[in-house]
Every structure is written in structure tokens, then in C-alpha cells.
Structure 1
Amino acid sequence: MRFPSSKAQEDMYKEAKSSYFDLPALDISVAFPQATPASIFPPCASDYYQFDDLLTLEEKETRQKVRKCMEKEVAPIMAKYWEKAEFPFEVVPKLGALHIAGGTVKGYGCPGLSITASAVATAEVARVDASCSTFMLVHSSLAMLTIGICGSESQKQKYLPSLAKLNTIGCWGLTEPDNGSDASALRTTATKVNGGWVLEGQKRWIGNSTFADILIIFARNTITNQINGFIVKKDAPGLQATKIENKIGLRIVQNGDIVLKKVFVPDEDRLSGVNSFQDTNKVLAVSRVMVAWQPIGIVMGVYDMCHRYLKERKQFGAPLAAFQLNQQKLVQMLGNIQAMILVGWRLCKLYESGKMTPGHASMGKSWITLRARETVSLGRELLGGNGILTDFLVAKAFCDLEPIYTYEGTYDINTLVTGREITGISGFKPAVVRQQSRL
């Protein structure tokens, strides 16, 4: 038997393809008219225990203005950008106009929100798109907050007003290729020279880094061996930031690899309030609360989507919402959300009263993300085949939750933080490592 040559096969394929394969995909509203896609975002149906009653007027107003912006400006375009793994720069001015960047930071053009208002804003952004909430978290609750807590007066005046308007963008560089969970063992170095410092090293998984105007970089002081913080400009000679490709989650977020080769930072851009790794924990304590509210927002959006979908989609002559199994899953999702919200709210109140400990924050983040995983998985089941399409939100949320489950401390690391606090015994290093260090 003789087979056509490769050239003949190619010609045959081109001819066949030209007949119908080049047609564009049907619009989802035509291909599947029975349910409304997430580009028209569903109304909120997840506040079953009336959490709004616990909020102040300012916190309610913050929630509503963020919700309105996200549903109107971001929902229609998020799937397109997620698929392309590109960032929607067109929404940055709209997010800036919300005046939520900087969160709890007071003065310098920052909003000075309560931590509850900042948390609710984080959830409302995540409800529509988790990537946008991560962009804001990195910029606001990491980069801006570090300057707000650890920066000098001149640094606050110089950088915060523009960052608050999102006229300039920040990122936060702690994680390294060899040090993720063991972040305090970072290897990037800072060497004192005349008039400043020289940074050498590498960072990885740094959100916003490919387009950030300023980069908060943590490095080990070669004299004191302690961790110091620095503000690095994007055009600094020797600085390189390249995008990490092939992510399955938070695809809109531009995570990058940063390489620092003899990058000079003037003395005026050293963060005087960062003199040990413990100083970074002042920032992480707040940002971990914000991260805990990201999954809350994600599952709110997933529930809202499923709630509408089950009433619109019909099978066996009835809406999917009429079936007992589906109702049970929907109620289980709703119950999880109420518990997650109340844990997150209590975490905010502990912080406001000065009673929140690292263990509180870590348990909140780890437990909430665990429940979120369960909740989004149920939503994925409820949508059947459409549960794997970004058009209906749940598939995207399912993937976006995975990196959130991991960053700002994995589930396991955060449980160890709480475990150490409640037992007084550290479980971070295996016994064999502790024994070797004593020799």
C-alpha cells in the first residue's frame, strides 16, 4: 500500500481545512443559549447570613463601588485576557479611581481604610476576577504597605501618592528559586558601597514584576547577615525581569523571574525599617489577612454563578435547581461561604484590636483556602461539561485558586505557624536537621 507523500498530505489537509475548519467559534450565547455566561455577571446571592449588617457605612460603600466597577468593567473581558495570559492594562485607571490602593495606609494620598473595608474590597475584586485581586494585593498590601510601615518619611512622600493612584505600579520581591517556604534563608545579597548598595541575586514568582515601576527587593546584608529591604527602579542597570510562562492559574497575573546583577541602589532607597526578617512579618501579617479574603471573594462569585446557572439550565424537563443532589451541593457551598466570611471578619476584628497573632492569620489563610478548594470543586461538579469553560467562571476560578492555596505560605506551612504558636514547639525543621545543626 502506498501512502500520499507528506507534501500531498499537507495539500489535502489545507484543502479540507479551508472548507470549514477556519470558521470562528460560535459565540457562547449562540452555542449555549440556555444559561447566561459570566461576562454578564450574576447578582450576589451568597450573603445568606446577612454579613452586610456587620459592616459600617464606609465598608458597605466600599463594597458596592468595587462590586459595580468589577461587574461592569472587568467581567466582560476577563476570560479573553485569562486565555491569552495577558494583563488588561485598560482597567488600571478604573481600579485606580476606586481609591482602594494602599488599603489601611493613612495619608500620602492613600485611602486609610479600615482593615475590614480593605478586606471586603479584596473579596469584591476576587469575586469577579482573582488575577485582578492578586495584582492589587501585590501592589497595595505588599509594595505600598511595606513603604507605609517600613519606609522613611521622604520615601512615603516620594512614592505613595503616585502608587495610590495607580499611576505607578509596585511589586514585592522576597521569594527565590531556592527559597520559597524557607523565605528567611534568601541568598540575594546587599553589599554596602560608597553612596548606596549593590544587589546581587535572583527572585522568582514575583507578581507585577515585568511592568512594575518600582520593585521592593529583600536582600541579605553581607556585613550584618540580616535581611534588608530596598526600593529598586525598573530602569536600574543590571536589573532584568522576564515573564514566567505556562501557568494554569492566575494567568492574567504577570509573574516574573528577576535577576539582579550588580544593581546599584542609592542610600535614599534603602528601607530603614527593614533590619531583619521579622520586619517583613509586619507586612505579611496584614497581607495574609487580605489573601484570606481572596478565596472568600472567589467562592462568592462561584456560588453566584452556580445559583443562576442551576435555575436557568434545564435537564429531564426541569431546572437543575430542582434536583435534590444539586440543592444539597449548593447548600454545602453556601454554608462554607458563611463560615469563611465569619472567620475572615473575626480576623479583621482581632487585627483592629491589636490582638491578632501570626498564628491567627496563618490559620485563617490556610483554613479558608482549604474550604474554598472544596467549595469551588462542588461548583465545578454542578456545571457539568460547562464547568470546564472559562465562559462560566467556575473553571477559571478552579484554576486560580490553586496558586492562592500556595502563596503567602502554603497550607502546610501556615498550619505549622499556628502549630508552633499553640504548642510552643517548632515543627519547621526535621529532627535530623536540628540534630546536625547542634554538631
Structure 2
Amino acid sequence: MTDFYPSDRYGYSSLLSAGELTVLGRLRTVLEKQVQPLLAEYWEAGNFPRRIHQPLVDLDLMAAPEITNAEGRTSGLYTGFRTFELARTDASVATYYNAQAGLFRTTVLRGGSPEQAVELDPRIRRFEYTGVFALTEPEHGSDIARGMATTARRDGGDWVLNGAKRWIGGADAADVLAVFARDEADGQVKAFLVPRESEGVRITKIRGKTSLRIMQNANIALAGVRVPDSARLARINSFKDVAALMRPLRADVAWIATGLQAGAYEASLRYTRERTQFGRHIADFQLTQQKLATMLANVTASLGMVVRLAQRQEEGIFTDEDSALAKMFTCSAMRSTVALARETAGGNGIVLENDVARFHADAEAVYSYEGTHDINALIVGRALSGTAAFV
């Protein structure tokens, strides 16, 4: 099926199995019928449509029989296209779903002990146990490795956490917060599963955003929060372990950037085929066709990169520079694509009813999160030169 996506010109989705395409088809139906009609209203209000949560959960996108192998795993390519499908509808919806299926699940699977992973992962897949990834702080984003100010102090059989986190998407509704903190005893970063309603936890919504308005980002204050040692994720004992979590997660963001481009391009194509000026459809004009061709080239190049990255990771090849390169490139292409999409819609490109305005605004958040463009470029540069140039 090389025409599964209108924006998949080279037919990368044909690499998926029939079962994977079936599950993605079910996802598309839910997105088109139950999610898409709500987006403009909730984006403008800056709220999340809670009614879409259960329909997405009911799809069993992490463990449906059609997509799991004998070991109960899904392919990296399917996971990527699942993110692509979500993001071509809306970046906030993709970010919301991936906060659980990507960030939180990976943190527990790779950061928890084998016993923690076995106990919690089935519940995470079913959304019976929800969580978020609380790493970024008010004063530390790109320099979080050295600058992390949130602390953890051992007190008998418990840990006491103090500090603050910022930009934590979905924190207001999660069961637990996966909080990263610096151990006062050895200076190393540890991670803890903190129940959202713990004494000393205060969560406030970040208001006034001009991007990802549907996604509910939060500030988290931690004041003397006490958790048992059993809540510590046993395999996270330094920032090096945190960095290992980020390798596959940065690839997820590259898929979001690619899917967002596809959504912007497809919205632009629909609009220019319907809108008439000077007695002709806008899509009939040479300048518009040039813009459409450039957008499609950006999507195609981005798809080629993330598909190959997924294949390499499926082979067990995980490097910081590979995922950083994909995030850097796809987000740069995304900025170009959404700008052209907005441009093709003229004045109507700044109103929500045509979708391109939402993609255009949301791209700015995706461009910066999970590592800014500059930081990702420096990760690649370090691998090329052998020299770290972060400071």
C-alpha cells in the first residue's frame, strides 16, 4: 500500500506489515472522526479535550495482537508511524500520547529494575498507570546535565525531594511523576516515581502559550516530598543513564516533526485545491506548485531519515548523534514546511479553520523540545570532531 499516506510519495509505509497498517487505519478513523473536529475549539481555549483519551486508549496501540511479535514487542517502524499518524493530525495529541507511550514507558522499562519493569509495564501499556517525564527545570534546560538543581536526600528508608520542574506535559492528570533529582550524597542523578498527590507536590498550569496550546504543560514544585526507596528507578544512577533514555526518545520527536510536516502539507494541498483566485484554483498557479513541491520534498526527505533511523535502532544501533541528527534535520525541514503551508493560504493561513495555522504555531514548540536545534547540532559535531563544544 504505497498510497496509505498522501504525503508518503516514496511509499515508506509499504514497509509496514498488513497487521500494522490495519491498526494504524483504526487509529486514523478515531483521529478523523473523534479528534480532528475538536482541535480548533480546544486549541483556541488552551484546554485538552479529555473525551479523546479513552478512544485512544481503547485502540491498544502499544499491544494490539496485530502488531506484537512472539516476545510481545512492536517494531520500531510501527512505533514511528504511529507517532507520524498522531502528529499529522495534531502535535499536541502526539505529544500527549507519547508522554505515556514513549517518555514514561521508556523511563520505566530502561530505568527501572527488571522487577519494576515487569510489574509496571503491562499497566503502563493499558494506561492504568500513567506518568510523565519530569526532567527540565525553570532555570535549566539545555544545561540540565550539569545544572540540575532538584535534590534528593536519603533519610532512612525514604528519599526527600526538593526543587522544581518546568514544561512537564500532562503532569496535571498523571498518576505519578518520574522526577529526576541530584543525590546530595554522591552528586549523581537518580529518578523517582512520585505520586502526583504526594504531600509537598504543587502543580500549576503554564498559561499564555502560543504553541502546543492543547497540551497541558505544567510547573511542578517539590517541597520536602517523601517517597520510599522502592519508588526509586534502580537503573538510573547518573546522568549518563538519563542520556541513554534520551537516545530513542529524540527519535520519537523526529517522527513528530515529520508527521507535523505531513499534516501541514496535506492541509495546504486541500486548501489550494479548493480556494479560487483570479478565476482559478490556487493550486493551478506556478508559484503555489513550487511551494507544494518543496513541502513534499521536505516530508519525503524527513521520512527517509526517520525510517532508516528506526531500522538501525531495530538492529540495536543506538547512538546520540544518529537521533540528534534526525531531530535537527527534521525540525529544520518542519519550520520550512509549515511556513510554506501558511504562505499558500494567504490571510486565511492565520485562522484555525484551515489547520495550517495550528501546525505553523505548534512547530515552534517541537523545534525546541527534547533538545534545541543548536544542542543537537553540537551532539553531532562532537561525534564528528571528537571535541565537545557545548561551552
Q: What TM-score, normalized by structure 1, do the two folds share?
A: 0.84
Tell me the alpha carbon deviations over residues 219-262 of structure 1, each in whole angstroms, 9 at most, x when there is no partner.
00111110000000011110111100000000011111100000
Report Cα offsets for 1:124-163 as digits up to 9, x if no partner.
0011111010111212211111111111244334433332
Map residues 243-258 of structure 1 onto 2, 5 A cutoff: 243-258=205-220
Q: Residue 378 of structure 2 aligns with which residue?
A: 416
Q: Does 2:308 align with 1:340?
A: no
Alignment of 1:143-292 (within 5 A): 143-184=104-145, 185-292=147-254
1:114-153 equivalence runs, <5 A? 114-153=75-114
Q: One-letter code of the match for 1:330?
A: L
Q: Which moved more, 1:52-61 or 1:298-307?
A: 52-61
Which range moves more in the overlay, 151-160 or 264-273? 151-160
Structure-2 separation of matches of 1:187 and 1:261? 13
Structure 2: unaligned runs, 5 residues or longer: none
The residue type paired with residue 269 of structure 1 is: A
> Residue 355 of structure 1: CA displacement?
2.3
The structure 1 residue matched to 2:29, chosen from 33, 57, 68, is: 68
Describe the superposition over 1:23-45 as per-residue Cα deviations: whole angstroms up to 9, x where unpaired: xxxxxxxxxxxxxxxxxxxx942
Change (3 A) 1:102 1:212: farther
For residues 62-98 of structure 1, what are the alpha-carbon distances to aligned partners after superposition, in whole Å with 9 as ceiling and x for unaligned? Answer: 3322222211110000111111111111111111112
Contact 1:44/1:304 (CA < 8 Å) preserved in 2?
no
What corresponds to 2:55 in structure 1?
94
Q: Name 1:311's counterpart in structure 2.
A: 273
Identity of aligned residues (%): 38
Counterpart contact for 2:179–2:191, Cα < 8 Å = yes
Equivalence map 1:33-52=2 (5 Å): 44-52=5-13
8 Å CA contact 1:82–1:252 kept in 2: the answer is yes
Structure 1 window deviating more from structure 2 (134-143 vs 160-169): it is 160-169
- Structural RMSD (CA): 1.8
C-alpha displacement of 1:356: 3.2
2:113 alignment partner AA: S
C-alpha separation in 1, matches of 2:74 and 2:283: 39
Q: Which one of 10, 15, 36 corresponds to residue 54 of structure 1? A: 15
State the Cα distance separating 1:303 from its structure 2 match.
1.3
Distance in 2 separating the partners of 1:169 and 1:398: 30
Contact 2:264 2:360 in 1 (8 A): no
Q: Secondary structure at the match of 2:153?
A: strand
SS of the residue corresponding to residue 77 of structure 1 reads helix
Residues 262-292 of structure 1: CA deviation (Å, up to 9, x unaligned): 0001011100010001111222111111100
**Aligned partners of 2:62 and 2:74 also within 8 Å:** no
Kept after mapping to 1: 8 A contact 2:170/2:218: yes
Amino acid at match of 2:46: A
* TM-score between both structures, scaled by the size of structure 2: 0.94
TM-aligned CA deviation for residue 115 of structure 1: 1.3
Counterpart amino acid of 1:194? G
Shift of 1:118: 0.7
Aligned equivalents of 2:160, 2:108: Cα separation in 1:
20
1:302 and 2:264 correspond: yes
Structure index of larger Rg: 1
Q: Which residue number corresponds to residue 32 of structure 1?
A: none
Please give the alpha-carbon distance, in whole angstroms, between the structure 2 residues aligned to 1:158 and 1:208. Answer: 23
Give deviations 1:385-429, integer Å, cap 9, x for gaps: 110011111101111010110010000000000000111011101
For 1:126 and 1:268, the matched residues in 2 are separated by 36
- Contact conserved, 2:342 with 2:360, CA < 8 A, in 1? yes
Q: Name the SS for the 2:360 alignment partner.
A: helix
Q: Residue 80 of structure 1 aligns to which amino acid in structure 2?
A: E
Deviation at 1:380, TM superposition (A): 0.4
